[in-house]
């Protein structure tokens, strides 16, 4: 909030002003032992929507991204130390892998660009589908198999793909 306020005057003088806040998928899904973090990220999303409405007349667009789990040096270090099981996280993500930081950066770049000039007040989830299908294996195991007379098919979880 303080950064946004501090930037307001300069942004209001720009003809392409945009703010991209960073939230988290954990602002959308319940996660044990992450109360303060999840609440703070949900607050960023409320801030984003409110500023979008208040600052639109000044030509300032305000959006946010909500990344899912992303492969970073911290994740790698926690995994090496035995404090994190990335494979268990990947099982919760329908795309079957953690994000690459370039995938997150490209969405931020888009939201800040003129290509997104009609977007404001939006939160873009960049989470590999975690927020809509957060436990794919459990869903697939619980779903009945499709029969020949059924129109509904039970899809197999997608194979993990590398970005690019």
**Nearest Cα to 53, choosing from 64, 42, 62, 45?**
62
Within its chain, how far is the Cα of 1 from the centroid? 20
Q: How far apart are CA 150 and CA 131, in angstroms?
A: 27
Q: How far apart are CA 111 and CA 1, in angstroms?
A: 19
Annotated active-site residue 69? The verdict is no
| Catalytic residue, candidates 13, 22, 37, 137 | 37
CB-based contact 45:66 (threshold 8 Å): yes
| Active-site amino acid positions | 37
């Amino acid at each position: 909030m303080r950064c946004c306020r501090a930037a307001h005057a300069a942004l209001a003088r720009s003809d392409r002003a945009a703010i991209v806040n960073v939230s988290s998928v954990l602002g959308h899904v319940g996660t044990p032992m992450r109360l303060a973090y999840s609440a703070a990220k949900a607050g960023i999303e409320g801030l984003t929507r409110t500023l979008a409405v208040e600052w639109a007349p000044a030509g300032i667009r305000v959006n946010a991204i909500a990344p899912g789990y992303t492969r970073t040096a911290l994740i790698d270090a926690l995994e090496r130390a035995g404090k994190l099981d990335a494979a268990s996280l990947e099982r919760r993500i329908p795309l079957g892998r953690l994000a690459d930081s370039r995938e997150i950066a490209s969405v931020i770049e888009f939201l800040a660009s003129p290509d997104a000039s009609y977007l404001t007040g939006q939160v873009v989830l960049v989470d590999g589908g975690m927020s809509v299908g957060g436990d794919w294996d459990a869903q697939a195991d619980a779903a009945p198999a499709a029969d020949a007379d059924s129109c509904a098919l039970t899809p197999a979880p997608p194979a993990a793909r590398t970005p690019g």
